[in-house]
Structure 1
Amino acid sequence: MRHSIRSTLTVLVSALSVLLVSGPALAYPPPDQVSGDTVVHDPTMIRTPAGYVLYSTHGLLEARTSTDRTTFTRAGSAFRTPPAWWSGYSPENDPWAPDISRERGQYLMYYAVSSFGSNNSAIGLATSRTGRPHSWTDRGIVYASAIGFDHNAIDPNLLVDHRGRWWLSFGSYWTGIRMIRLDPATGKRHPSDRTLYHLATRPDEPYAVEAPDIVRHGRHYYLFASYDRCCAGLDSTYKIKVGRSSDPAGPYVDRAGQPMLTGGGTLLLETHGRVVGPGGQSVTRDAGEDVLVYHYYDGTDNGTPKLGLNVLGWDSEGWPYVR
């Protein structure tokens, strides 16, 4: 009897150890319930006086609207026609990974034009008074990379820091995440600070870090980035990691203190249940909450890319987690 009890306890301890090791993956909540047109890649969302508007990769920057952050309706695209310069970077005139924000009384959208696997890429800027579909005016190229560069000008994200300085982070593979200063008067590259800052990479090829999004919380800036393989349906291994810094330009470190420039990054969200390869994320502030906006591949729908929304919580040490 004593031997039986000991064996049972051994099995229970072993099972508990497995749960503790794999706990974070098991603890992720499902995405918030959404409906309507939710097949997206690289979503970005903002709340306007007329309701929510969400933009995503492809289709002249696909647009969806919502009144309640739950039901989304396809509403055309950001642009009616492609700007002439796009064709120099994408023969298909196929823009990627928009980033929407509102500054100085207007809406700004930074976005990338490229082709898969190439770093002949450019980041453009468009502006709008309303942020609504078909209301955008293109303002041209902000930054470009070319074949032979050690970085890639895609996946842009605007940050306005606590001192009013404007920053644009961007990049993927080709040594990871980079950043430049912008001129708030134009939204283009700063005329005197021409530094190309380096925020995150990893030591192993192909240096799969992309899709930066930086937000301020408390006294820190948090860099959210997507790691590993995107855009492969159920074979995708995308995941979201985060690091933080007291300065917008870094250095960013993870919870354990490892710099993101040496492969660090605290895991925020990864494959769980039907949610495969979550990434391509942005963070938006809405109704006093930080909302993580991302895509994932639906394991119950043949790997179709879907919209994911989750509110972020912040723990006692100031690190974000998915609620």
Structure 2
Amino acid sequence: MNFYSTKYYYSVLLFLVFIISKAQSISVHDPVLIKEKDTYYLFCTGKGIKCLSSTDLKNWKSEPAVFPEKPIWTDKVVPDFGNHIWAPDIIFHKNQYYLYYSISAFGKNTSAIGVATNVTLNANDSNFKWVDHGILLQSYPNRDEWNAIDPNVIIDDNNTPWLSFGSFWDGIKMVKLNSDLLSIAQPQEWHSIAKRKNTALSGGNSAIEAPFIFKKNNYYYLFTSWDLCCKGKESTYKIAVGRSKSVSGPYVDKEGNLLSQGGGTILIKGDENYFGVGHNSAYTFDGVDYLVYHGYDAQQNGKSVLLIKEIKWDSDFWPYL
């Protein structure tokens, strides 16, 4: 191979690397995934809840937003709400998709979690229609030491649905849902499953949010995000994990520290490639476990991009990447 053919070869190779990296670096915050037939659907923070689709987890196309117009109840929670909806979660249960989402005033616990349903995610299907069911849970300043954002729903081995949620304040909470997945079960059952406030391990830092619970290896794994998101190059986001045999805890880290008392094992944090990484979800697709999250890309001046990595498991059934 002469100089010119070598130069051409490497030019093509660099171009392909550039195209692939661009395909994988779509701009997202707080991504969650679900698969319908042969198509993956990604939902994330954005105007009306941003949605994209892919058949290979690399190349993505835009889909219609869940709410072209803001839900009619949102102004009652946040006056003049701009339809910028945070941190959705989605599950499929009894032939229906349930999408949970966050309405909030930034930096306050003036917040609510809503839920919408659909029978398909294919916007070209004649049955495609998002039906909003309004507020599931609401937090109020000066009343609640918790924040009703960042929902995650899991159905346990007893077929009982649970909602975990929370950001800053008194940490991550969990509450039992009714079987309709649209309302809080009565009598109410609440649990505090993780926090970082005023503990020796957290150094007094209360920055914890974005719970996601993933069942694997006979454990429930609770992922949370620590420290600061949404600051571009100044972001310090990182992902921590603990586990429990029971969905409601207690959750412990690798050293046996309770997550409810500030414990947590760091799974991944920022490096020379990404200033911070966090707000993850976790899934098994076609026998492979994946961690889905966003990172603040050092090569793009701190732009928030989609990251998907395979989860591996060590001999003690702790996750690593």
Q: Which residue of the partner structure matches residue 34 of structure 2?
A: 46
Report the more deviating stretch, 121-130 or 43-52.
43-52
Q: CA deviation at 1:58?
A: 1.5
Q: Which residue of the partner structure matches residue 3 of structure 2?
A: none
Q: Which residue of the partner structure matches residue 301 of structure 1?
A: 300
Q: Unmatched 5+ residue regions in structure 1?
A: 1-31
SS at match of 2:47: coil
Q: CA deviation at 1:205?
A: 4.3
SS at match of 2:255: coil
Q: 1:33 to 1:285 in 2, by over 3 A?
A: farther
Report whether the alignment pairs 1:198 with 2:192: yes
Q: CA deviation at 1:186?
A: 4.3
Q: Which residue of the partner structure matches residue 88 of structure 2?
A: 98
Contact 2:225 2:239 in 1 (8 A): yes
Q: Which residue of the partner structure matches residue 162 of structure 1?
A: 157
RMSD of the TM alignment (CA)?
A: 1.6
Aligned length: 290
Write out per-residue CA displacement over residues 32-81 of structure 1, whole angstroms, 9 at most, x where no aligned residue: 95617710100111111150110110210001111111101122311222
Contact 1:173 1:206 in 2 (8 A): no
**Which one of 116, 140, 152 corresponds to residue 126 of structure 1?**
116
Contact 1:94 1:114 in 2 (8 A): no
Q: 1:136 to 1:282 in 2, by over 3 A?
A: same
SS at match of 1:71: coil
Q: Which residue of the partner structure matches residue 147 of structure 1?
A: 141
Q: 1:37 to 1:84 in 2, by over 3 A?
A: farther
CA distance in 2, matches of 1:280, 1:125: 19
Q: Which residue of the partner structure matches residue 135 of structure 1?
A: 129
Report whether the alignment pairs 1:185 with 2:174: no
Report whether the alignment pairs 1:83 with 2:71: yes
Write out per-residue CA displacement over residues 64-113 of structure 1, whole angstroms, 9 at most, x where no aligned residue: 11111110112231122221111223322221000011111111111110
CA distance in 2, matches of 1:94, 1:249: 31
Aligned identity (percent) is: 39
Describe how 1:196-235 pairs up with structure 2 within 5 A: 196-202=190-196, 203=199, 204-235=203-234
CA distance in 2, matches of 1:150, 1:231: 23
Q: Which residue of the partner structure matches residue 257 of structure 2?
A: 258
CA distance in 1, matches of 2:92, 2:320: 25
CA distance in 1, matches of 2:280, 2:158: 25
SS at match of 2:73: helix
Q: CA deviation at 1:311?
A: 1.0
Q: Unmatched 5+ residue regions in structure 2?
A: 1-19
1:69 partner letter: L
2:110 partner letter: N
Q: CA deviation at 1:276?
A: 1.9
Contact 2:274 2:302 in 1 (8 A): no
1:297 partner letter: Y
Write out per-residue CA displacement over residues 9-49 of structure 1, whole angstroms, 9 at most, x where no aligned residue: xxxxxxxxxxxxxxxxxxxxxxx956177101001111111
Q: 1:137 to 1:210 in 2, by over 3 A?
A: same
Q: Which residue of the partner structure matches residue 317 of structure 1?
A: 316
Write out per-residue CA displacement over residues 143-184 of structure 1, whole angstroms, 9 at most, x where no aligned residue: 110012100000000011111110000001011100000012
2:312 partner letter: G
TM-score between both structures, scaled by the size of structure 2: 0.87
Q: CA deviation at 1:280?
A: 1.1
Q: Which residue of the partner structure matches residue 242 of structure 1?
A: 241
CA distance in 1, matches of 2:25, 2:119: 25
TM-score between both structures, scaled by the size of structure 1: 0.86
Q: 1:37 to 1:275 in 2, by over 3 A?
A: closer
CA distance in 2, matches of 1:61, 1:89: 17
